[in-house]
């Protein structure tokens, strides 16, 4: 997929996935890079900023296999932000669709 497209949707993807369930960093990176081929290390800066902006909160949880995991959980503020971003994404898609249509040339 075009690199420019990926970059535009990364933040929304992170917000949406964590909105569905809590993830720890490695798991989330793995999930996203199944679909989007990205430089995985750059997901952590996004996670950190969204946490600093109070869209996520983190907690540690012991696991049976290996070390404790740092989980990310969406906050109420984060849910609102996700909805807003999603709305903008849908509007953007509709406008582009109007412009170029749905046909494959």
Partner 1 sequence: MTKQEFLKNLKEELEKNKVQNVQDILTDYEEHFVHGLSKGKTEVEICEGLGFPSVIAKAYQTESLISEIKNPEKGFNLSLAVTVIGRLLVIAPFNFLILFIPGVVIFALLASGWAVSVAIGSASLALLSMLPFLGTVSAGAWAWVTGLSTSFGLLGLAILGGMVMFVITKYIVLAIISYLQWNLKFILQK
Residues that bind partner 1 (CB under 8 A): 3-4, 7-8, 10-11, 24-27, 29, 33, 38-42, 44-49, 52-53, 65-67, 69-70
* Of residues 70 and 73, the one with the C-beta less far from partner 1: 70
* Of residues 50 and 102, the one with the C-beta less far from partner 1: 50
Is there a contact between 11 and 78 (Cβ–Cβ < 8 Å)? no
* Of residues 24 and 86, the one with the C-beta less far from partner 1: 24
Question: What is the closest distance, in whole angstroms, from the C-beta atom of residue 66 to partner 1 in the complex?
Answer: 5
Question: What is the closest distance, in whole angstroms, from the C-beta atom of residue 79 to partner 1 in the complex?
Answer: 18
Question: What is the closest distance, in whole angstroms, from the C-beta atom of residue 103 to partner 1 in the complex?
Answer: 25
SS (H, E, C) the chain: CCHHHHHHHHHHHHHHHHHHCCEEHHHHHHHHHHHCCCCHHHHHHHHHHHHHCCCEEEEEECCCCCCCEEEEEECHHHHHHHHHHHHHHHHHHHHHHHHHCCCCC
């Amino acid at each position: 997929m075009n690199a420019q497209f990926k970059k535009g949707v990364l933040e929304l993807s992170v917000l949406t996935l964590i909105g569905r369930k809590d993830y720890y960093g490695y798991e989330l990176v793995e999930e996203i890079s199944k679909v989007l081929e990205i430089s995985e290390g750059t997901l952590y800066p996004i996670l950190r900023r969204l946490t600093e902006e109070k869209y996520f909160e983190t907690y540690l949880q012991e696991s049976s296999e290996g070390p404790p995991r740092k989980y990310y959980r969406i906050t109420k503020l984060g849910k609102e932000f996700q909805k807003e971003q999603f709305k903008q994404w849908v509007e953007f898609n509709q406008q582009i669709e109007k412009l170029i249509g749905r046909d494959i040339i």
